[in-house]
Each structure stands twice: as structure tokens, then as C-alpha cells.
Amino acid sequence: MIVYFLLIAILNLALGYALGVYFGWPLGVLPMPPPAPPDAATEDAGAVIMADNPKEGGLIQSDTEGQSPPPPEGDGVLDVALRSFTESVANFLAELVKIDARLAAGGQPHVAARECKTTLQQRKTEHQEQLRAALAQLDEHKEELADVAETSSKVQYVVQEQLKKVQANWACIEELDVAEAPEAAIDELAHLVRDLAGAAQYAVDELRMSQIRIDREEGRLAAAGPRDAIDPITGLAGRAAAEGMIARLWDEDDQRRGNLTLAVISVDQFQQVHFQHGLEAGQRVLAAVAEIIGSKATADELAVRFSGRQFLLVFPDKTPRQCSEKIEAIRQQIDQTKLTRGDSEVHVTVSCAVVAAAADDALETLFGRLDETVLEAKRYGRNRTFVHDGKYPAPLAPPALEIAAATVEL
């Protein structure tokens, strides 16, 4: 009987090895899941990967299999490195959310703190090793990156800063006294984990922006379509989908270049939501905001998750005047929506920017005015809409709209 079981075990090992060779998996490494698309490290930083799936009601950690389109043929060394970097940071973010949820779950503090500290050490070590390996591979091919030297340097800087942030936070975590003061260790560990999540999301946004910049220069946005998978947090496509749509509109008819309006909706002080209510709560807030935005968009308009805490609406063949009331309706509805989580309430507001494209615009100049306009809205107190008239951004007088109060359970 023992010989029989040994033979079965040997056959299983042999079969596993054969399948690994056939599918091209490195020995000892399982195939990685596709990265989740993921906020800037500013006052509102910190959107992360795990969220409620509004369609299935379950908590998800990354894109479901098959949503990410395959990489285009002819990708260069930097494209490959970018996918590796983004995948590593996205997976690390998902682990941070799970650790944060475990810290918030309660139970015996010394057990939770010890378990989470051990798990974080394992995950951060894997993360650092993956990033360093990808950096080394990129350095081996640096002579091939002459045409994209500026973008390559930016990518390497972002990754190196991510490594520094992970190491700095881990140095603080190592000093926590889990045995003597478990409750205090839980609170400090949660703070450090949420801070790490904000920095990691900033890295994801920057890496994805670098990929979009390469696709712009290569003319791939309009020709090949967006690379972004559907965002599992909001159910929306990502920034590349919007840029691809705009590029195709402009390629089809250059006269439409000046008949396009864009609007950004940016969640105010999003980092505070994470630190006060936890990472999962932040994702549920994003899902609720996306639901309100999606309910207002018509079939000819496109709503996307622009970055960690920002959403973008693309309005073809419409003027800012035609779009401003819709954006104000969205802003006022979010302000009038009470988000509850157990016994606590999460009140969020958004700052909005409405900008018209000019006949001589490129994507960079158009998005530059969007950034300028939404920053003005935040600078002047947040929870308001600013419109760029082509010269400078100015506040929109809020129209008197009949907005019904609503309650959403996160």
C-alpha cells in the first residue's frame, strides 16, 4: 500500500513538472494574477485595490481573469518592466488591505498585531525582491532605452521611492512592542499600513501614467484601444479608455477637436477617509460615488476612473454650459448622500472641474487645464465646481436644483 501511494505521488509530481514546462512557468513560481488597476500622495492620496463588487456583493482583490487585454505585440523593454512594476505594487496593495481589515476585525490584540506584523514582513520582502529584480533587468537593457530615457528615468525614480517608503515604514513597524502594548501596536500598525497604501497607490498611478505616455507617443491609444481593465472597485474603465476615445474622435474629424468638453470629479480629502474609517471603507466610498456618476452619464458620454480618487467624464460635441448643470447635479447629489458604515457616518464631498477643448489642444494641454481647474476648486474650499473659460478657471454659481437626500450603506 505504501509503495502504491509513493507511485501516485511521483506521478503527480511528474505531471506538475510537465505542465509547468508546457505553460512556461518558472520552476517554483505560480503564474501571477492580472494586476488590478488601481492616488496621488497629496492631501487626498490613498485609493487602493480591494473593494466591494457592486454586481456580486463580494470583496475582490484584483481584476477578474480575462478582463485585461493581452499586451500588444512589439512591446519594448520598458513596457515589460512597467507591467512587472505595476503588478507587484498592485498585489502589495491588495495585501495591505487584507492586513488592515484583519487589524480592524478585533479579537485578541496581541494575536492580531503579531499575525499582521508577520504577514506584512513576508509580503514586504516579496514586494522588495520583485521590484529590485525588475529594476536590475531594466538596468541590463538601459542601452535599448535611449528613445524613452526620460520616461524610463521617471519610472525608476517612482519605483525607488516606493522601495524607500516600504523600508522606512517597516523600520517603524519593527520597533512596535506587540507583547507589552498590543492595543497601541494595533493602532500604530494600522496607521503605518494605511500610509503605505497611500504611497503605493501613488506609485501605481504614476506607473500607469507612464504607460499611457508611452502609448501616446507610439500612437497606440487610438489604434489599439485601451490597455486598462475594468476597475474592480467602481466598475468603470480607466484613464486610458478616455484618452483612447478622445484620440479616436480627433483622428476621425479634426473639426471635433474644439467640440469636446471634459469634467473631473475629485473626492475631497480622501486620505482622511482611509485613516478614519479604513481602507475597505474608502473603496466603498469610491464605489458609491461611481454609482452616482454612472447614473447621470448618457450613452454617448464616457465616465472613467481617472486616478485613485478622481473620475473623468468625456462629453463629445457638447459645450461647458451644456455639461455644467449635470456636473453640479452630481456634486450636489454626493453632498446630499449620507454614507453609513455600521454606527458611523462617512460624509464626503467632491470638487469638480469643467474644461472645453480648444482647436489647437493636445491631450497634455487639455489635461493640464483640467488639473489647474480642479486644484482651484480645492484651493477655494472644496465641494464646488470651477469652469475654465479658456483663459483661467472661475467658480460656477451653484444652480438651484431639487436634489433628494439619500442614504447608502457602505
Asked whether residue 168 falls in the same domain as residue 195, the answer is yes
pLDDT confidence bin for 259, thresholds 50/70/90 = confident
Please give the pLDDT value at position 378. 96
Distance (Å, whole) CA 90 – CA 49: 7
What are residue 294's phi and psi, to 5 degrees? Answer: -60, -30
Judge contact between 119 and 172, C-beta under 8 A: no
Over residues 212-217, mean pLDDT: 86
Please give the pLDDT value at position 227. 56
Judge contact between 161 and 85, C-beta under 8 A: no
Domain annotation covers residue 36? no
Percent of the chain with pLDDT over 70: 80
Count of domains for the chain:
3
Which of 5-9, 37-41, 54-58 is predicted least confidently?
54-58
Please give the pLDDT value at position 387. 96
Asked whether residue 241 falls in the same domain as residue 378, the answer is yes
DSSP 8-state assignment for residue 142: G
Asked whether residue 166 falls in the same domain as residue 218, the answer is yes
Whether 294 shows a pLDDT value over 80: the answer reads yes
Please give the pLDDT value at position 34. 35
Tens-digit pLDDT profile for residues 338-378: 998 888 888 999 999 999 999 889 889 999 999 999 999 99
Distance (Å, whole) CA 346 – CA 249: 39
Q: Count CA atoms closer than 13 A to 120's CA, side-chain side.
A: 29
**Higher-confidence position of 390 and 287:** 287
Asked whether residue 117 falls in the same domain as residue 258, the answer is no
Contacts of 359 (CB under 8 A, 6+ apart): 257, 258
Whether 329 shows a pLDDT value over 90: the answer reads yes
Please give the pLDDT value at position 5. 42
Residue 310's beta-bridge partner residues? 266
Judge contact between 358 and 260, C-beta under 8 A: no
Tens-digit pLDDT profile for residues 188-197: 999 999 999 9
- Report residue 126 as a C-alpha cell: 516579496
Please give the pLDDT value at position 323. 94
What are residue 183's phi and psi, to 5 degrees? Answer: -65, -45
User: Closest Cα partner for 93 from 59, 46, 44, 154?
Assistant: 46
Edge-first strand listing for the sheet containing 337-341: 344-346, 337-341, 406-409
Distance (Å, whole) CA 234 – CA 291: 8
Judge contact between 380 and 285, C-beta under 8 A: no
Domain annotation covers residue 194? yes
**169 in helix, strand or coil?**
helix
Asked whether residue 246 falls in the same domain as residue 348, the answer is yes
Whether 40 shows a pLDDT value over 60: the answer reads no
Asked whether residue 276 falls in the same domain as residue 193, the answer is no
Whether 29 shows a pLDDT value over 60: the answer reads no
Contacts of 71 (CB under 8 A, 6+ apart): 79, 83, 227
pLDDT confidence bin for 228, thresholds 50/70/90 = low
Whether 41 shows a pLDDT value over 80: the answer reads no
Q: Are strands 51-52 and 337-341 parallel, antiparallel or unpaired?
A: unpaired
Judge contact between 405 and 337, C-beta under 8 A: yes
Whether 62 shows a pLDDT value over 50: the answer reads no
Domain annotation covers residue 362? yes
Asked whether residue 7 falls in the same domain as residue 77, the answer is no
Asked whether residue 162 falls in the same domain as residue 204, the answer is yes
**pTM listed for this prediction:** 0.78
Please give the pLDDT value at position 52. 32
Start-to-end CA distance of the chain, whole Å, equals: 55
Among residues 170, 205, 225, the one where a domain terminates is 225
Please give the pLDDT value at position 223. 64
Over residues 79-108, mean pLDDT: 91
Distance (Å, whole) CA 190 – CA 167: 16
pLDDT confidence bin for 73, thresholds 50/70/90 = very low
Q: CA-based angle 350:356:359, to the nearest 5?
A: 155
Asked whether residue 93 falls in the same domain as residue 194, the answer is yes
Helices (H), 278-408: 279-296, 320-335, 363-379
Distance set, CA 187 to CA 173, 181, 382 (Å): 11, 10, 30
Distance (Å, whole) CA 243 – CA 241: 6
DSSP string, 7-64: HHHHHHHHHHHHHHHHHTPPTT-PPPPPPPP---SSTT----S-EE-TTT-SEE-SPP
Please give the pLDDT value at position 328. 96
Asked whether residue 259 falls in the same domain as residue 392, the answer is yes
Among residues 170, 201, 225, the one where a domain terminates is 225
**Higher-confidence position of 277 and 9:** 277
Tens-digit pLDDT profile for residues 159-207: 999 999 999 999 999 998 888 888 888 999 999 999 999 999 999 999 9
Asked whether residue 206 falls in the same domain as residue 240, the answer is no
Across the chain, what does the average pLDDT equal?
81
pLDDT confidence bin for 10, thresholds 50/70/90 = very low
Domain annotation covers residue 56? no
Domain annotation covers residue 57? no
Whether 19 shows a pLDDT value over 60: the answer reads no
Whether 116 shows a pLDDT value over 60: the answer reads yes
Domain annotation covers residue 47? no
Judge contact between 211 and 79, C-beta under 8 A: yes
Distance (Å, whole) CA 59 – CA 233: 9
pLDDT confidence bin for 122, thresholds 50/70/90 = very high
Domain annotation covers residue 31? no
Asked whether residue 19 falls in the same domain as residue 74, the answer is no
At 107, which CATH number? Answer: 1.20.120.330
At 245, which CATH number? Answer: 3.30.70.270
Distance (Å, whole) CA 282 – CA 47: 7
- Cα-Cα-Cα-Cα dihedral of 343, 287, 202, 220, to 10°? 180
Domain annotation covers residue 98? yes
Which residues span the domain enclosing 79? 70-225
Judge contact between 341 and 284, C-beta under 8 A: yes
Q: Which residue in the block uniquely carries the three cell numbers 490597455? A: 227
Cβ-based neighbour number of residue 222 at 10 Å: 18
Among residues 180, 197, 225, the one where a domain terminates is 225
